[in-house]
Amino acid sequence: MPEIVKTTVYRLDELSNAAKEKARDWYREGALDHDWYEFIYDDFERICDMLGVRLRTASVRLYGGGTRQRPCIWFSGFWSQGDGACFEGQYSYAPAAVRRIRDYAPKDDELHRIASSLQAIQRRNFFQLHASIVHRDRYYHEHSMAISVERDSPTGRDTTPDAEDLVMEALRDLARWLYRQLEREHDYQTSDEAVDEAIAANDYTFTDNGRRFG
């Protein structure tokens, strides 16, 4: 014979501190099962375009059966020593990169430095440097990118002695910059403030010990 069981449920702000933490942990377990980093990737693509980095793309299958092109960007994080971000593509000189980056991100000193560093080494090589960036490891961090630098000189002149190291370091600094943006966004989306707001917006309810109801 069916029975009716009554359960008292609570909103997050009605729970004890210990129960709130359990409710937040429940939400965090599935909170980032979507592509939470997409707008970080979009921003990175725009920045790469300004700097002269053309990201390689690859086809990914959509749930509806179609495909779309996605930039070759990867990351792992955010708790292990080997965590980081990397990308694949081609780099060449982009006129006005320094000005465009400063206009786009006026307060980001690190991006300004990267753009200025690439501009300086290109100038010393008559703006003829280009680089290939390929992911070569099972890990995802700046040193998993194999970067080869060449000079497209019509007279066959070699790169300056410091060219390869400086271009490689600037591109790896760009990967480090990307990782910091991803880490910052992840920290925000899993913060108590963001989690509490999401739980309230979805009107989730819990039992008195913080277990999700329903």
Q: Smallest Cα–Cα separation from 110: which of 169, 53, 45, 46?
A: 169
The bridge status of strand 145-151 relative to strand 129-135 is: antiparallel
What average pLDDT score do residues 19-24 get? 93
In this predicted model, what pLDDT tens digit does every residue of 167-198 receive, in sequence order? Answer: 999 999 999 999 999 999 999 999 999 999 99
Q: Smallest Cα–Cα separation from 19: which of 214, 213, 212, 209?
A: 209
pLDDT of 214: 65
Average pLDDT over the chain, rounded to whole?
A: 93
CA distance 116 to 110: 10
Q: How far is CA 91 from CA 88, 121, 132, 138, in A?
A: 10, 13, 6, 23
Residue 80 pLDDT class (50, 70, 90 cuts): confident
Express as a percent the part of the chain with pLDDT over 70: 98
Q: Where do the domains of the chain lie?
A: 1-32+193-214, 36-189
In this predicted model, what pLDDT tens digit does every residue of 108-159 receive, in sequence order? Answer: 999 999 999 999 999 999 999 999 999 998 899 999 999 999 999 999 999 9
H helices of 35-96, where? 38-51
